[in-house]
Amino acid sequence: MDLSSISPVTLIVSLMAASTPILLAALGELVVEKSGVLNLGVEGMMIIGAVCGFIAAVTTGSPWLGFLFGAICGAAVSMIFAVLTQYLMANQVATGLGLTMFGLGLASLLGHSYTGINPPAFSQIHIPVLSDLPVVGRIIFGHDPMIYFSLALTFGIWYFLTRTRGGLVLRAVGESHDAAHALGYKVIRIRMLAIAFGGACAGLGGAYLSLVRVPQWAEGMTAGAGWIALAIVVFASWKPGRAIIGAYLFGGVTVLQLNLQAAGLAISPAYLSMTPYLATIIVLVIMASDKKRQSLNAPASLGKTFFAST
């Protein structure tokens, strides 16, 4: 085994790319859950975003249009969930699981003739001088625009949730929909918007996966990223800043185990591939041991169906 083949700088750079799809999906789900809705369909929305973004990018030749279309399609499928749970009062857990199944199936149907094609390239930014600096240059100034966008989005969501009236109303709806309704807020409308936002973020994450991270279309390519995003929301105690830590932790373990595999570590690759998921489970168990602190941040109405009683 040759550990010296693993360069820390490359590791950090690829870690960020590996984490971005999960981070985007987790941020979207965080907003959805803050509004009191539990959408377990993240995986389905992600893969729809992946396939739709891929098709759009290949057809138009523009990765930007691919991202846009991926986000739109993610939001569109999330509306199935939204209408079922918000207007028809369907159970959120069952509907979310159904959305995942539906998304996976629909994506393989849509993507059937797109396997094996290369999408248009989406390159890293290059700022003269700055990007050429040793170490710092590649870690800070050498990524593609979507990574910067995901970081800006994290900050934006934090600012929205904690500093704006809209964010306050959203949190209030997630905290007690009955009280929010009594004050005259439109609970269902706010939740519809949150779900659409969550769908768009998941779709964007999926598109990043098929356009940048892999970059190809393959059936079932999300491989549980949507579930990890859900876990990261809990790990982050519904705080955007911590979602970065969670996503990068998972991405870091993923990239590290790949590097270790390449370096020829004498452990079966099957075990190494497990490590990111194992790490997620272990971290969640540790987090859950402190219930009191966690439940302070958890939206109190999470997953509860809202009936407007007049």
Partner 1 sequence: MTPLLHLSGLTKAYPGVVANDDVGFEIAPGEVHALLGENGAGKSTLVKMIYGLVRPDSGEMRLHGQPFAPHEPRAARAAGVAMVFQHFSLFEALSVAENIALGMDDAPETDALSDEIRSVSKKYGLTLDPDRMVGDLSAGERQRVEIVRCLLQNPKLLVMDEPTSVLTPQEVDVLFETLRRLRDEGTSILYISHKLEEIRTICDNATILRLGKVVGTCVPAEETSRTMAEMMVGTELKSPTKRPYQPGPVLLEVKNLQLPSKDPFGTSLRDVSFSLHAGEVLGVAGVAGNGQDELLLALSGEEPCEDAAITLKGAAIGSKGPNHRRLQGLLAAPEERLGHAAAPDMSLTENALLTGHARQRLTNKGFVKWQATQNFARAIIQKFDVRTPGAGHAAKSLSGGNLQKFVIGREIMQRPDILVVNQPTWGVDASAAAFIREALLELAEQGAGVLVISQDLDELMEISDTFAVLSEGRLSRVRSASGVTIEEIGLLMGGTEVDHAAA
Coil/strand/helix, residue 124: coil
Report the residue number, 123 or 310, with the smaller CB distance to partner 1. Answer: 310
Q: Is 176 in the site for partner 1 (CB under 8 A)?
A: yes
Phi and psi at residue 117, to the nearest 5°: -95, 145
Q: Is 292 in the site for partner 1 (CB under 8 A)?
A: yes
| Shortest spacing between CB 135 and partner 1, in angstroms | 41
2-31: contacts with partner 1 (CB under 8 A): none
Q: Is 115 in the site for partner 1 (CB under 8 A)?
A: no
Q: Is 172 in the site for partner 1 (CB under 8 A)?
A: yes
Report the residue number, 127 or 300, with the smaller CB distance to partner 1. Answer: 300
Q: Which of 79, 178, 193, 215 binds partner 1 (CB under 8 A)?
A: 178
Q: Is 288 in the site for partner 1 (CB under 8 A)?
A: no
Report the residue number, 182 or 278, with the smaller CB distance to partner 1. Answer: 182
Report residue 174 as tokens. Answer: 């997630």
List the one residue out of 132, 167, 154, 125 whose CA is nearest residue 34.
167
Report residue 155 as tokens. Answer: 């900050």
Amino acid (1-letter code) at residue 231: A
Secondary structure of 2-59 in HEC code, one letter for each residue: CHHHCCHHHHHHHHHHHHHHHHHHHHHHHHHHHCCCCCCCHHHHHHHHHHHHHHHHHH
Report the residue number, 263 or 300, with the smaller CB distance to partner 1. Answer: 300
Q: Is 161 in the site for partner 1 (CB under 8 A)?
A: no
Q: Which of 112, 278, 295, 307 binds partner 1 (CB under 8 A)?
A: 295
List the one residue out of 247, 226, 233 whose CA is nearest residue 303.
233
- Alpha-carbon distance 258 to 241, whole Å? 26
Q: Is 165 in the site for partner 1 (CB under 8 A)?
A: yes
Which residues contribute to the site for partner 1 (CB under 8 A)? Answer: 165, 168-169, 171-172, 175-176, 178-180, 182-185, 291-293, 295-297, 300, 310
